[in-house]
Amino acid sequence: MPEPFKNLLNRIMIRGMAEHFSKAEPDFDSAGFVMMAGENLETLELKERSTQITATLATFLPDNFEKAAAIMLASLAPEECDAVVNAQPGTLQADQRGIEGWAIMPMVDYVGLYGRGHFDLSMALLKEMTKRFSSEFGIRFFLIEEPERTLSLLKEWARDSNHHVRRLISEGTRPRLPWAMRLPAFIEDPTPLLPLLEALKDDDEEYVRRSVANNLNDIAKDHPDLIAEIAKRWLNEASKDRKKLVRHACRTLIKQGHQKTLKALGYDSPCIKLKNLEILTPSVSFGNAVIFELCLTSTSKHAQPLIIDYAIHHRKANGSATPKVFKWKTITLAPLTTMPKAKKKHAIKKITTRTYYPGTQGLEVLINGVSFGVKTFELVM
C-alpha cells in the first residue's frame, strides 16, 4: 500500500529542520520546536501539518524577521542538490546537507505571513527556497499585498538560469492554484499575468511550460474567450512543444466544448452522421462498468479532425442529473467514410470525489463539443 501523501511532512523531517536551525543559531530551542511541531501529527492532513509547523516556526524563531530569515537561509541545502518537487516520503526533506524538498513548504508560508514588511529580503529568501522546492504558496501573499512590485520582480526572474525560479513565476501567479489562497484580482483581470506567461511559453524546460499551461487553464475557467484568442495566436507557426502546451492549457475548454477554443485548435463543427450508439450493458451493477459502442459516418468531402468525448450524467439524490465529461479519443475521419466501430468501457466504482445513487443514468457522446444524443442505463447498487 502506498505511503500516505501527508507523511511527506513527518517527525524525522521536523528533527532535521531543528538540527539545521540549531547549527545556524546555537540558542535555538530544538527540543521545544520538535515537540510542538510534531504534536498529534498523525491526526493531521498534509496542509494541516504544514500549518502547524509554520506556527511552530513563528514561536521558536526570533521575532526579528531579519534574524529569522538569516537562520532559515543558513539552514538550506546547497543549491546543486536540485530538489525534486514531487519527492517521495523520506527523501529530499532535511538531511546532513541542509533543508530542502517538502520541509520548505511551511517555511515559505512563514515568509509570506511574517516577511511582508521586508519585501526585498523576503523575495530573495523565497527565490532561494524555490530552488530547493517551490515558493508558490508564500509568494502569493506579496502578489495580493504588493502586486505591481511583485510582478515587476517576477518579470526579471523570467530570465533566471534556474528553472525552478522560472517555474515559480507561472505557478505562483496561478489565479486558482490548488491548496493555495486564490488571487481575486487576477481572477477578475488576468491581463497583468499575460506578459509573464508569454515570456515563458517557449522555455527550454517542460516543467516550466507545463506550469504555464496550468496557469492558462486556471484563467480559462473565468475568461474562456481570452484563452481561445491566446491559443489561436500561440499556435501560429508553433513548435511541437508549444502545441503541446496550448492543448494542455485548453483541456478544460475542450471538455466543455468551447467552440472558439476548438476552432483555434483546428476542430470545426463536425459534418458527421451518427450511425450507431449502443449501450451494451443497459443494467450495470455498482462496481462494474457501463460498456458502449459508437459508429460514425462522415458527410464531408474533406478529412475531419475529431475530438470524441463522452459524458456520464450521474443521478443525484434528488433525482436530477449532473454531467461529467471524460476523454475518449482523437481521430481524423476520411471524407465520406464510416469509422470502424469503437467500444468503450467506463467503470462505475467507489471513488472519494463522488457519491453514486441508483437508478437511471445518462450517457452522452460529444464530438468537437457538439452533443450527438443521450442514451440511458440503469445503475443497480
The residues near 365 (Cβ < 8 Å, ≥ 6 apart) are 274, 277, 294, 308, 309, 310, 371, 372, 373
Please say whether the beta carbons of 180 and 137 come within 8 A. yes
Radius of gyration of the chain (CA): 25
pLDDT at position 4:
81
Please give the Cα distance from 205 to 224 (Å, whole number).
26
pLDDT at position 2:
66
Residue entry with cell 523520506: 90
pLDDT at position 352:
85
Q: Average pLDDT, stretch 350-379?
A: 93
Number of domains present in the structure of the chain? 2
Based on the fold, state whether residues 80 and 176 are members of the same structural domain: yes
User: Helix crossing, 65-75 with 104-114: angle to 10°?
Assistant: 160
Please give the Cα distance from 151 to 140 (Å, whole number).
11
Q: Average pLDDT, stretch 37-54?
A: 95
pLDDT at position 154:
98
> Where among 246, 264, 282 does a domain terminate?
264
Based on the fold, state whether residues 287 and 321 are members of the same structural domain: yes
* Closest among 363, 378, 369, 367 to 278, alpha carbons compared: 363
Which of the pair, 8 or 162, is modelled with greater confidence?
A: 162
Q: What range does the domain containing 322 cover? A: 272-380
What confidence tens digit (pLDDT) does each residue in 217-273 have? 999 999 999 999 999 999 999 999 999 999 999 999 998 889 999 999 999 999 999
User: Helix crossing, 46-60 with 11-24: angle to 10°?
Assistant: 20
pLDDT at position 148:
97
Based on the fold, state whether residues 311 and 258 are members of the same structural domain: no
Based on the fold, state whether residues 260 and 279 are members of the same structural domain: no
Please give the Cα distance from 162 to 168 (Å, whole number).
10
Least confident of 23-32, 83-92, 172-181: 83-92
What confidence tens digit (pLDDT) does each residue in 339-357 have? 999 999 999 999 888 999 9
What confidence tens digit (pLDDT) does each residue in 77-106 have? 998 644 444 444 334 455 578 999 999 999
Based on the fold, state whether residues 276 and 372 are members of the same structural domain: yes
- The CATH code of the domain that includes 95 is 1.25.40.290
pTM: 0.85
